[in-house]
Structure 1
């Protein structure tokens, strides 16, 4: 049982570490790091507010191709109903050259 708990903890740490690395890329030069972190907390909410995400990510979209890919995809896909689902977010992150897999969001 302890081994199972340890594996679950390791997976959780790996997930948070990957998300931190992604956010370090997409929020480079952006002050609202904590705000973006809260918005990307798709584990709990299942969706992200597109306008808030756009405000944060587009500001740093020119920082690098990764950030640009993510912000452009999120903006493009998020304009419809104003919300971005975890699938769309996972899709956006997978299409960027970032170390994240869709399985992290399941």
Structure 2
């Protein structure tokens, strides 16, 4: 049987171990929550990028269809070409921003 001093020491050690486990568990939960938030943030960004790309793609597709159906109207054809060029420029800028963001994320890892 343990003496009083040994029992108190063992209880103290168990208490410290339990607190350490609680702190470790709390820290792990905090890290898990941070990861969940980061994942949610990435999902929002992916949704934003999806919309950002769909808009110029839709405009360019509509302009292409206009080109195909415009017949011999040079003014309408020129306008459609301008829309396509503008939307391609917009998508190029989006892809450049996406590349820079990916590079920054890679540098942080």
Answer yes or no: same fold by TM over 0.5: no
Q: Which structure features the higher share of strand residues?
A: 1
Indicate the structure (1 or 2) with the bigger Cα radius of gyration: 2
TM-score normalised by the shorter chain: which range applies? 0.3 to 0.5
